[in-house]
Structure 1
Amino acid sequence: MCGITCLISKREINKEDFKKRNDVISHRGPDGEGFEYFENEDYKIAFGHRRLAILDLSSNGLQPMTCFQRYTIIFNGEVYNYIELRNELKEYEFKTGTDTEVIVAAYDRWGTKCFEKFNGMWTIIIYDSISDKIIISRDRFGIKPLYYVENEQDIIFGSEIKQVVGKTVRPNRELIYDYLVHGIQDHTNETMFEGVRQFRAGCFAVIDLKEESYKLEFIPYFDINQKIEKQGLKKRFFNSIKLRLRSDVPVGSCLSGGLDSSSIVYGLATEVKKENIFTFTSVSKHKKFDETQFSDIVVEDVGAKNFKVEPQFNSLVAELDKIIWHQDEPFTSTSIFAQWEIFKCAKENNIKVMLDGQGADEVLSGYHQFFKSYLFSYLQDRRYLDFFRELRKIIKNNNMSWKFCLEVLILYYLPEFIIQKIRSIFNKNNSKPNWIRNDVKSRPDPRTYEYVKNLNKHCEMQLKTTNLPMLLHYEDRNSMASSIEARVPFLDFELVLETMSTNYSERMSDGLTKTLLRREMKDLVNDEILERKDKMGFVTAEEIWFKNNASEVEGMIHSALERISIINKHIIIEDFKKFLSDKKSYNFAFWRIICLGRWLKLNNIEI
């Protein structure tokens, strides 16, 4: 994993400025840097690279890399099946042990069809000096980031937003509204910086450098609903783990104690000796936010070496500006700080690659929000007896009331416009809360879970737009801030395709989420982990922190509100005081306001 910078221009390139843009991501690649410049009468190109050495640690792996006297590549990520691809490309002479060289040979052999063969995570930019074209590709799920700013004269690309922004920063008010009110980001290819966009996941683009102006046209190469030969989730999962252990540096794993991270660690234990299993866990002295009892079971079962971190409020406040700088945008929850501390600890213990469970919930239907879509599927198939049987188990196993039953039936049978009318009458899930000023135009919540009446479509929505992109953003910046490559076995594309092809009653049943994973891991994972019905992850005691540090937090809210004019200040402050006196429940908007205010201050802007 690395960091890349690319500038394509009709004008002269300021090499000093370009180097600064590449240097600003030195944390992504502390093991080396490289530059290449290409010029002719039609165009100018600059390639920059920062290297985090994972495969072939010698200087042979430095980029930009020129191959076959034709192609020059900059690449961030890993193509895990590079060994298998290399065996298919025996007519090529390889000079390194890296996957980078294999990518170029694969492109030379198969053209843009090569992206369909890659199993991994990547952003790739290739310059073809013979055809005068630039080829750009991003992995299927957007695990690796790529941002760009374009105009008629030039396009600049970078692994992080800070590389591509200009001297004058303008806020994207619509995206800031979605973050502030709905707690969501990365759900479109826009960012909170006006004019800065994300290259779309699962797509490639070809730029003809001889054209008068440059324009990106995204061409998808991946269909999440395509058919794949059945092998079984367990076999796919173990193959995914094995591929993601390909590394010339030590590999560790995040371990929360939940089913996803525990499955990865148990899987890891089948491939490596116990003295080489390194796990990292976030703990809390507050039992409500602590999973130590479960993570300890996993550690004992596999004989792993476990490192624990306990995030503290004071440390969060002290490091907040630094975290925001690395994240590039404000983040929705202090749980991001727990993940930040995990990767810091891994770096301190000389771990350079970490496995993590991102994607499992979206692929395997792990959130309680999926229950409605799951039940809708029974109604669609007119399996009414099964519907009520499953409904009863969901209510029993998850401490829900029978109001949930009524809501499911109403949402399924009533037209959407009537449902929206009912919601507006009761002000439920209103797109604009009372702490947003009346003159601010509202935006609907893009996470329309209630109206997704198909489990597969709901999973696809979470994978592509409403959840996973945001989590991958956090993971990438947190890991790279500590110069660590994070790998996500549950997002192996073959595993995803096979899972998405299963019936809804295989993925969820008996009132439980992730039934398919529970069943496949039965002979591997401890029963106490398999039978968990709650869900946490790397959470923090945010609510308790805010109460225990009420004066400081209120001051942080006041400070943030100085730059956020769209909020009714007296209402949000009153809501916070009511929370402190237990007259109102905790509102996660308190944190989002604080974080947004700090981000605005760091970028010297207001909204």
Structure 2
Amino acid sequence: MCGITGWISFDRDLTREEADLAAMTATMACRGPDAEGTWLARHAALGHRRLAVIDLAGGAQPMVVDTPDGPVAMTYSGEAYNFTELRDELRRRGHAFRTASDTEVVLRGYVEWGPALADRLNGMYALGIWDGRTDRLVLIRDRLGIKPLYYHPTDDGVLFGSEAKAILAHPLVEPVIDTDGFRELFGFVKTPGAAVWSGMREVRPGAVVTVDRAGLREHVYWKLAVTEHRDDTDTTVAHIGELLDDIVTRQLVADVPLCVLLSGGLDSSALTALAARAMRERGERARSFTVDYEQRGDFAPDELRGSRDAPFARELVAHVGTEHHDIRLDHRELADPGVRAATVTARDLPFGFGEADNSLYLLFRAIREHSTVALSGESADEVFGGYPWFHLPVVQQAAMFPWVTASGLDPSGHPTKLIDPDLLLSTLDIPGYWAQRYAEAVAEVPGPDGEDPHERRMREFCYVHLTSLLGMLLDRKDRMSMAVGLEVRVPFCDHRLVEYVFNTPWSMKTFDGREKSLLRSAVRGLLPASVADRRKALYPKTQDPRYVTALQRQVADLLSAAHPAADYFDRDALRTAAAGPPEAVHRDAREAFERVLDLATWLDVRRPVIKLS
């Protein structure tokens, strides 16, 4: 895993612009702590920061293949899990390899197949290739959008990078957030292709962007499509099990220490059990990590978190025999302004997941002391229909993003409470934004003619989760992990699995009357019964009132200092909530504390130019 960046200019000699490229590349240092490289030609400049995972000695970048018609140079982030098969095919086509890295396979694959290489890759990847044979830049992003990739057109070319901060480091780019950008910030919905910063775009998942003297073009090489599902339930369950076994085995390939993130829930336990079995067969022992919290008082279950993770994780560890580590966090770490600054800086944007970002960052930082690569159960809920709101009729019937409806919102509400209502309802018109984005999303949903209305509705449910909510979660996972130089792989995002499960009927996805019926049946034989039958619990949060007290104190200080972040909130409501007893702070107010502190940090760190109309 790495950080990539580049600059294409058809009217300049970029061999004289090394300082600007170096500044862009330096912003990616956390993504690639092991090495740095640049490559400059007259009209192309590529930068790379490397996190060495495969072929530690031979995978340096940018990597170049010289051809009779000109050089082909690449800066690449990610992993191609089928690189062994692709290398064998390329050898048969006459290619000779100097390294054992997947990077060289991807580069020579492009030399052989051009942009059609994207159709052949299995993995997570974001790459920029300068094709000196045609003076063309090719940007390719993986199908589900696991790895980020941004670009910003200029008058004579384009700037690109793994993160917005790489592009913002260039003197041609002003850090402007306009009204549409603010809608993306406050709307809790991720629009594919939107990058929040004015003039900047995100390469959409499953897309190729090409840039040459004729301009910029985008081609979507993959999207969810409808195929008839002919397998019965038993065959479907068996095929899912076979896919998962192949996926996990492929994603265990690394030349550095590897582990699994284990919550004790169905998704992470399935991956841990599969990884433990595969590693045991090759004479190795899997390693697992669980996050937990130091706190006062007993755990109090609620509708989203019915049980603590740690006891179930221990049961799974005893069952499969991993080398296990509990990472325990306390309220002081979670509330540390330095940690918040690190997470907001990593995101480039405010309004992430607050405490959940902080805890994930701290978890990944602790894991990085032991491992360089981790497997995560992210996206299983989106693929298999695991969230509680998937199964609530009131949410199913609402013509709105399900997670928005499930937050108990009415047209005048918002998941981040205590924000200035005039800003939300008048300046930004968040209800109108939601309605427009939702209509655009469901208009894309494929489906056969004559589909049962309920099956159609649930297909829309699955589609918007996979194309909007998943993007937010993958972005969070990528930013928090790469901020500490940890590569996180997400096996449930394998496009073969996503395609297959997307096309199974909803009635089959819930054939036993529960969430994630197909996944549970596919892996039940690998898990303790208590883990296999555990109800879904969302990512844990601390229940320690001292954490809330710390937030209240920080918000009170922010209000006393008249920080401009408070201008976007209801100051009186914030002041009242910050002055009350911590045990009386409502969830809405706690979320507002997180948002206003994130916003203040972002304004201080990034210093954006805000232009609202």
Q: TM-score range by the shorter chain?
A: 0.7 to 0.9
Aligned residue type for 2:523: M
Partner of 1:356: 376
The partner residue of 1:170 within 166, 172, 176 is 176
Counterparts of 1:484 and 1:24, CA distance in 2? 16
The aligned residue for residue 190 of structure 1 is: 194
Q: Which of 131, 134, 157 is the equivalent residue of 1:131? A: 134
Asked whether the equivalents of residues 123 and 494 of structure 2 are also in contact (C-alpha less than 8 Å), the reply is yes
Work out which of the residue numbers 559, 571, 574 in structure 1 matches 2:573. Answer: 571
- In the alignment, is the contact (CA less than 8 A) between 1:179 and 1:332 conserved in 2? no
Q: Hey, what does 1:93 align to over in structure 2?
A: 96
Q: Which secondary structure does the structure 2 equivalent of 1:455 belong to?
A: helix
Q: Unaligned 5+ residue runs, structure 1? A: 376-403, 418-422
Judge conservation of contact 2:419–2:592 (CA < 8 Å) in 1.
Answer: no
Secondary structure of residue in 1 paired with 2:260: strand
Partners of 2:150 and 2:26 in 1: CA distance: 16
Q: Is the 8 A contact 1:564 1:606 kept in 2?
A: no
Q: 1:179 to 1:542 in 2, by over 3 A?
A: farther
Code of the residue aligned with 1:501 in structure 2: it is: N
Q: Alpha-carbon deviation of 1:173? A: 3.8
Per-residue CA distance 1:451-486 (angstroms, 9 max, x = gap): 976222211111112x11111111111111221111
1:534 CA drift (Å): 3.5
1:4-153 equivalences under 5 Å are 4-9=4-9, 10-13=11-14, 14-39=17-42, 44-58=43-57, 60-69=58-67, 70-89=71-90, 90-91=92-93, 92-153=95-156
Please say if residues 78 and 124 of structure 2, whose CA atoms lie closer than 8 Å, have aligned partners that are also in contact: yes
* Distance (Å, rounded) in 2 between the aligned partners of 1:579 and 1:190: 40
Is 1:430 paired with 2:412?
yes
**How many angstroms apart in 2 are the aligned matches of 1:347 and 1:434?**
37
CA distance in 1, matches of 2:360, 2:419: 30
Give the aligned partner of residue 293 of structure 1: 311
Q: Does 2:308 correspond to 1:305?
A: no
1:221 maps onto 2:195 in alignment: no
> Which residue identity is paired with 1:535?
A
Could you tell me how far apart the structure 2 residues matched to 1:56 and 1:268 are? 22
| Change beyond 3 A, Cα 1:561–1:528 | farther
Q: Quick one: distance in 2 between partners of 1:283 and 1:142?
A: 29
Aligned equivalents of 1:476, 1:434: Cα separation in 2: 29
SS of 1:62's partner is coil
Judging changes above 3 Å, is the alpha-carbon distance between structure 1 residues 430 and 276 closer, same or farther for their aligned structure 2 residues?
same
How many angstroms does 1:235 deviate by? 0.5
Q: 2:211 aligns with which of 207, 214, 217?
A: 207
TM-superposed CA distance for 1:172, in Å, is 3.5
Q: Is the 8 A contact 2:261 2:290 kept in 1?
A: yes
Residue number in structure 1 paired with 2:291: 282
Distance in 1 between the 2:8 and 2:605 partners? Answer: 29
2:273 aligned partner: 266
Match of 2:356 among 335, 340, 343: 335
RMSD: 2.9
Q: Point out where structure 2 has 5 or more consecutive residues left out of the alignment.
A: 232-237, 443-455
Distance 2:38 2:184 in 1: 38
Q: TM-score, normalised by structure 1?
A: 0.84
- For structure 1, which segment, 23-32 or 139-148, has the greater mean C-alpha deviation from structure 2 after superposition? 23-32
The verdict on how the C-alpha distance between 1:475 and 1:584 changes in structure 2, with shifts beyond 3 A counting, is closer
SS in 1 for 2:113: helix
- Equivalences for 1:455-474 in 2 at 5 Å? 455-465=458-468, 467-474=469-476
TM-score (norm 2): 0.83
SS in 1 for 2:293: coil
Distance 1:427 1:144 in 2: 31
The reply on whether 1:440 has 2:427 as its aligned counterpart is: yes
8 Å CA contact 2:361–2:481 kept in 1: the answer is: yes
Partner SS, residue 46 of structure 1: strand
On the 8 A contact 2:552/2:578 being kept in 1, the answer is no
Matching residue's letter, 1:582? A
In 1, Cα distance between the equivalents of 2:378 and 2:311? 22
Instruction: Summarize deviations over 1:166-186 as a string: whole Å, max 9, x none.
Output: 564222444434434x4x254
SS of the residue corresponding to residue 50 of structure 1 reads strand
Which region of structure 1 is more displaced relative to structure 2, 559-568 or 253-262?
Answer: 559-568
Matches of 2:369 and 2:465, distance apart in 1:
34
SS of residue in 2 equivalent to 1:314: helix
Contact 1:71 1:126 in 2 (8 A): yes
State how far apart, in whole Å, the 2-side matches of 1:18 and 1:65 are.
16
For the 8 Å contact 1:313–1:545, the answer to whether it is kept is yes
Distance 1:427 1:23 in 2: 42
The answer to whether the 8 Å contact 1:254/1:342 transfers is no
Q: CA 1:558/1:258 → structure 2, altered by over 3 Å: closer, same or farther?
A: farther
Distance between the aligned counterparts of 2:512 and 2:560, measured in 1? 48
Structure 1 residue identity aligned to 2:277:
T
Report the Cα offset of residue 324 of structure 1.
1.3
| Aligned mates of 1:597, 1:185 — CA distance in 2 | 21
C-alpha offsets along residues 422-467 of structure 1, whole Å, 9 cap, x if unaligned? x9xx9824256674243534222638889976222211111112x1
Q: Which moved more, 1:274-283 or 1:92-101?
A: 274-283
Shift of 1:296: 0.7
1:147-183 CA deviation, whole Å, 9 max, x = no partner?
1221222311111111101564222444434434x4x
**Could you say which residue in structure 2 is the equivalent of 1:315?**
333
Measure how far apart 1:305 and its partner are: 1.6
Moved more, 27-36 or 547-556: 547-556
The one-letter code sitting in structure 2 at the alignment partner of 1:101 is: E
- Structure 2 residue aligned with 1:370: 390
Q: Helix, strand or coil for the counterpart of 2:3?
A: strand
- Displacement of 1:547 in angstroms is 4.3
CA contact (8 A) 1:4 1:158 kept: yes
Note if contact 1:228-1:497 (Cα within 8 Å) is conserved in structure 2.
Answer: no
Residue 200 of structure 1 aligns with an amino acid whose one-letter code is R
Aligned to 2:565, what secondary structure does the other structure show?
Answer: coil
Find the aligned partners of 1:74 and 1:150 in 2 and give their Cα distance.
18
- Supply the distance in 2 between the matched residues of 1:528 and 1:263 (Cα, whole angstroms): 13
Per-residue deviation, 1:601: 1.7
1:560–1:175: structure 2 CA closer, same or farther, 3 Å change rule?
A: farther
What CA deviation, in whole Å up to 9, does each residue of 1:37-76 have, x standing for no partner?
111xxxx110111111111111x21111112524211111
Instruction: Return closer, same or farther for 1:52/1:435 CA change in 2, 3 Å cut-off.
Output: closer
Q: Which amino acid aligns with 1:282?
A: V
Q: CA offsets per residue over residues 133-154 of structure 1, 9 Å max, x none?
A: 2211100011111112212223
Instruction: Give distance in 2, aligned partners of 1:561 and 1:511.
Output: 51
Structure 1 counterpart of 2:155, one-letter code? E
CA distance in 1, matches of 2:609, 2:581: 27
The question of whether the paired residues in 2 share the 8 Å contact of 1:19 and 1:48 is answered with: yes
* Shift, 1:202, TM fit: 0.4
Secondary structure, in 3 states, of the residue corresponding to 1:238? Answer: helix
C-alpha displacement of 1:605: 4.3
1:136 match: secondary structure: strand
Structure 1 Cα separation of the partners of residues 210 and 177 of structure 2: 29
Cα distance in 2 for partners of 1:502, 1:589 equals: 39
Rate the CA distance shift 1:329–1:115 in 2: closer, same or farther, 3 A.
same
Map of 2:449 onto structure 1? none
| Count of residue correspondences | 550
Distance across 1 between alignment mates of 2:116 and 2:478: 27
Distance 1:262 1:559 in 2: 47
1:349-381 CA-to-partner distances (Å, cap 9, x unmatched) read 2x1111001111111101122124xx6xxxxxx
For 2:606 and 2:115, the matched residues in 1 are separated by 38
Q: Would the aligned equivalents of 1:339 and 1:538 in 2 still touch at CA under 8 Å? A: no
| TM-aligned CA deviation for residue 563 of structure 1 | 2.9
Using the TM superposition, give the Cα deviation of residue 595 of structure 1 relative to its aligned residue in structure 2, in angstroms: 0.8
